[in-house]
Structure formats: C-alpha cells, structure tokens
Chains A and B, each alone.
Chain A
Amino acid sequence: MNNTLTIEAKHSPEFLERLLRVCRHRGFSIITINATTEQQLTNIELTVSSERDISLLIKQINKVIGVLTVTLSASSRNIKASA
C-alpha cells in the first residue's frame, strides 16, 4: 500500500534525518519525497510504501518534536500488472 503524507514542521537542520529515520525504523519505505523550507517552516510531501497501517506512521511522525501537522493526502494499493 502506498500512502502520501503532507507534513508541516518547524525548520531544524536535522529534521529530515529525524523523519526519514522514523519511516525506516517503523517499517515504511520511501517512494518519493519533496521538501521545501521557507521562513523557518519545512513543508514535505512524502509517499511511503508498507503493509503496515499508515496510522502507525502518522502517530509516530506526530511525536517528532517540531512537527506541526501530518495529513494523509492519498492512498493507493500498488498492484503490479501480471505478465
């Protein structure tokens, strides 16, 4: 299952490291990531893949200090075409 999250956070030099570590440790592979920082705010669009429920990751990201909002913006099951 692929899920796309939109995350807004206070900027800090290591914020992306924190986010990526949480994703990996909690069992979510990163498919795409786009991050921009302006005026001390970091906005991230992140697509992750896992068989685990996305709510588990959302809760863990919400615990990262500096995270302001986490929104699930899209979900899709990644179905490979059979040969």
Chain B
Amino acid sequence: MNGANFVVHALIEQNVTQVFGYPGGAIMPLYDALFDGGVDHLLCRHEQGAAMAAIGYARSTGKVGVCIATSGPGATNLITGLADALLDSVPVVAITGQVPTHLIGTDAFQEVDVLGLSLACTKHSFMVETAEQLGPVIEQAFEIATSGRPGPVLIDIPKDIQVGPSVAYALAQLAETQQPLDQAIITEAKNLISHAKKPLLYVGGGVGMAKAVPALRTFIEQTQIPSVCTLKAIGCIEHNSTHFMGMVGMHGSKASNLAIQECDLLIAVGARFDDRVTGKLDEFAPHAKVIHLDIDAAEIDKLRQVTISMTDDIKQVLPAITVKPSIEQWQQHISEMKVTHANRYDHPGEPIFAPALLRQLAETMPADTVICSDVGQHQMWVAQHMFVDRPENHISSSGLGTMGFGVPAAVGAQVARPNDTVIAVSGDGSFMMNIQELGTIKRKQLPVKILLIDNQRLGMVRQWQELFFNGRFSETILTDNPDFVTLASAFDIPGETIVVKSQIDQALQRLLNSDGPYLLHVSISEEENVWPLVPPGAANDQMMESIG
C-alpha cells in the first residue's frame, strides 16, 4: 500500500464516504487511489467550489466535509472556502498535494507555501514530511476539525509521500468526553435567571455545531424565556415558538433588537457578539447582566465583559441552569412587540416583492427542505422571511459573507441528502461568482433548485451607496448580465423567468415539482432595499425602516 492508498484507507476509517475535489499534478497519486473506489469523489469545476461543497455537506449533516486539491493554484483556490469554514466553525478537512519533498523551497512548478498560506484561514494545518507521520496526522486532523469549536484543518502531502510505501497505523475514533460542571457557577447562573425580570436568550451558531438543539428547545420550553438568534442559528429554535422573535442585529427584526436593548439578563448561548449582531458595542444590551456559554474560552470577554461564563458543553450546561423565572409582564411585552413589528407583505403594483415570494416559497416547499443562501440582499431576505426548523436546513455564509457560496454549498447538501429538496437562493452578483458549478450539477444530475433573484445590481452594495454614499452607484450596475435561463440551458438545466406577481404560483410549483435541477429566474426592481437596517456605528434601537 502506498501513501495515497493509505490516505483513502484512513478516510474510510474516519467514516468518510464522500469527498469533493479537483485533480492536478501533485495530487495525482491520490486520485489514482480514489479510482479504486471506497470513497465517492465529486468533481467540482473549481477548487473553491469543492471547498464550499464540502461546507454544504458538513453543515447539512453535521459530518466532516472533505475537499481535495492539487498544489499551487489548486491549493490557493481552496483558501476562500477554508476561511469561510473558519469564520463559521465548520468541520472541514482539506487535503492538498504538494511538490516532492526534495523540491520544496526551490520554487518548483506549481509550488506554493501552502502551510504558510493556511495559517490565517484554518484551525490548524499539517505538512506531512515522512510516511510515518501520515497516519497520526490524518487522525489528528479529524480530531481537531470536530473537537471543541470545530473548524477547517488542512493536510499538505508531498507527492513522494503519496507514491512511497506507507507505514501501518491504527487510526482511533474520537470519543466525546465531558468534564464535571462547576456547581458554584451553576448556582450563580440559576440565581441570576430566577431573579431576572427581563431575561433574553441570544442563540448563536454554536448551538447547532454542538448538536445542542434538543437541549436548547427543552430549556426554552421549561423556562419560557424569550429568545432571538443570529444568522447562523436560524433553525435552532422553532420559528413559531411563542416568545421567539427571529434574527437580531443589522437586518434583524425590530422586536429582537428592541428586546436586546431592554433586557436585564442576556443569556448568550454559542454566540460571539459579532459586530453585525451588536451594532455599536458600547450600547448593546446596555442594561443587561450577561451569562455567556461558549466552548471557546477565547470568546469570553473578547468583546463584551460578562457576569458569568461557562466553556463546557452546552448540552450539559443548559439542563443544569434550567430555572423558570417569573416574567409574565416581559413575555406580554414581547408578544405585543412581535405583533406591532411583524413583517408586512403588502406591496403595491405588479412587480415581484422578493420578501413575499420567499415567504410563499417557505410555505409551499416540502418539509426538511435545505436552503442554501448566497450573499447579499437576498441572503437577508431569506433570513428574515423564510423559516426552517433545523439549523442544518439553513446554510448561509454568515461570518465571511462569501459571494458565490450558495450554489456549491447546495451541491454539497444535495449530495449529502439526496432525498431532500435543496434550494439555492442566489442573486445575480453572487450567482456569477461560482457559475461553473452548474457543470457539477449537470455532471451528477443533482436536482438542485435555484431561485435567482435578479435586480441587475450588486444589490447590497447598491443599497449602501444609496443610503451612505450619496447615490453614487460605483460599479454596482449589472445591466449587462447574461441571459441566465439560456446560460442554465447550456448545462441542461431548464428554467424560466418571471417578472410579475401573477406568475409566482405556477412558477414555484414548476420549481418544486421538477425532477431534476431547475432555475427560476426572478426579475425584481433594483430599488428594493433590505429593511430594517441598523446603520453602521449605530445602536440596535436606531433602525432605519422602509418609508413605503
């Protein structure tokens, strides 16, 4: 068995059944080993697409996503995907080929210092220098990717290690361990909760990553504490939960942002006080004591000084701090705010109103549909107006905000969950960023549904130019877009364009009922903005709202 065969063997030992990648010179031995089977490989049409497909696979299942690329440009093309996985704490293992060890440092063909490049965009990275290291490195890579706060890990393997003889190594599976909780802190936390008059749960993506959704929902059911969530935590709380107000932050619901500003106890669960959540940090939750639960000790007191913190497993902590406070007045106030500030879908005229369209899609799509959003205005409309009840069903580039994420992430999710409907919601700017992945959809005949919301603009940048740059629309006008339906048809993907409200019902049915992939291209006005909006530098209760 050579090194490359050993890598495939090790992937199988780590329960990997699917990888995404793109071959090239320095990784050819591994592709030769993959040719023998045992692990399914999906050829993406760009390494960035492979990395994002691995993210979509990981986020839609909770498993590790694996992507493969060659040295040099193959590896550099992975970088954006790895950074995306780092910012969103996604367990990804990337394997790159490297030039043979004797050529490293000679500026050989397709040689780049991948280990050096990886330092800022991975949780950890390895360069395999000897055959003996291969087994322990792969074992450690999977352990690091999944343990604590998950993240991407890169393994760079020189070609001579791949073709040389391997060294036998018995790979171990990671066992989950739990430490006993600090009972003094538990008591203090329960004391804070029981005495709070206006407690609020601020739920972040860490809940889903920790597989703590059932524990969270039990906590909410037993305490009846009102809640808000971050972009990455959408789906953790059932959308119709009584005191749940939806997303908080820059484009969060008005009720969420006002509740944050009024609360006297903020219980942050797997959340990190990101600037898109807090707005002006000094004025975020100004009256609140804070309980912060996060597996990553570096997040504690990083941006907000907290009253109590615990870095234990959320699944352990939430049951331990469960105590029901007496907060009827606060709950009543939350209920009233939810009604007063509910989303409105009345919209004059025939042109399509994207929020209403997305709401209708959410109401008609099958249960357990996975939504993969791209980045921009449509991403925020998805977060505001669609609803999912599992975090694995809302996949959005939250931390890095990577345009081009939606379609390859949908590829990964569809491969992972072939029996579920997967919808990529994109915008005309984002769609063009990884348009080559339509070739991946065609190759595998993946039934990915694409809802393309087209305002012939880089919409979110245009919105900010309108609001904060005196309407100077610098390089955001895309009236020279291609004919997207014709473009999709070149990849054997059928589709249609709709422009008025009366076309929506039938078009959504055709989208959802298509056996294979489908493109629904929706033309909307460039003047539609995302509301509400907390302007940069403002506190969360200073929201700008539509005057229409």
Contacts and interface: CB of A to CB of B under 8 A. Distances in A.
Interface string B107-123: 00000000110011001
What class of interface size applies to chain B in its complex with A?
10 to 19
Interface string A24-54: 0100000000000000000000000000010
B297 A62 contact: yes
A14 B116 contact: yes
B547 interface: no
Contact of B298 (A14, A18, A63, A65): A63
Contacts of B124: 65
Contacts of B302: 56, 59
B296 A63 contact: yes
A65 B115 contact: no
A13 B104 CA distance: 14
B52 interface: no
B297 A21 contact: no
Nearest to B118: A14
A18 B119 contact: yes
Contacts of A56: 298, 301-302
A60 B296 CA distance: 10
Interface of A is mostly: helix
Given A65-B124, A65-B144, A60 B298 contact: yes
A17 B119 contact: yes
Contact of B115 (A14, A25, A60, A63): A14
Nearest to B129: A13
Contact of B120 (A13, A14, A25, A60): A25
Nearest to B303: A56
A76 interface: no
A55 interface: yes
Nearest to A56: B302
Interface string B262-305: 00000000000000000000000000000000001110111000
Contact of B301 (A25, A55, A60, A63): A55
A60 B302 CA distance: 10
Contacts of A17: 116, 119
Nearest to B144: A65
Contacts of B296: 63
A18 B115 CA distance: 10
A65 B137 CA distance: 13
A61 to B, nearest CB: 9
B297 A59 contact: yes
Contacts of B144: 65
Nearest to A63: B298
Contacts of A59: 297-298, 300, 302
Given A18-B119, A63-B296, 5 more contacts: A21-B120, A56-B301, A56-B302, A60-B298, A62-B298
Q: Which 5 A-B pairs have the closest CB atoms?
A: A59-B298, A65-B124, A21-B119, A60-B298, A59-B297
Interface of B: 115-116, 119-120, 123-124, 127, 144, 296-298, 300-302
24 contacts: A13-B127, A14-B116, A14-B119, A14-B127, A17-B116, A18-B119, A21-B119, A21-B120, A25-B120, A55-B301, A56-B298, A56-B301, A56-B302, A59-B297, A59-B298, A60-B298, A62-B297, A62-B298, A63-B296, A63-B297, A63-B298, A65-B123, A65-B124, A65-B144
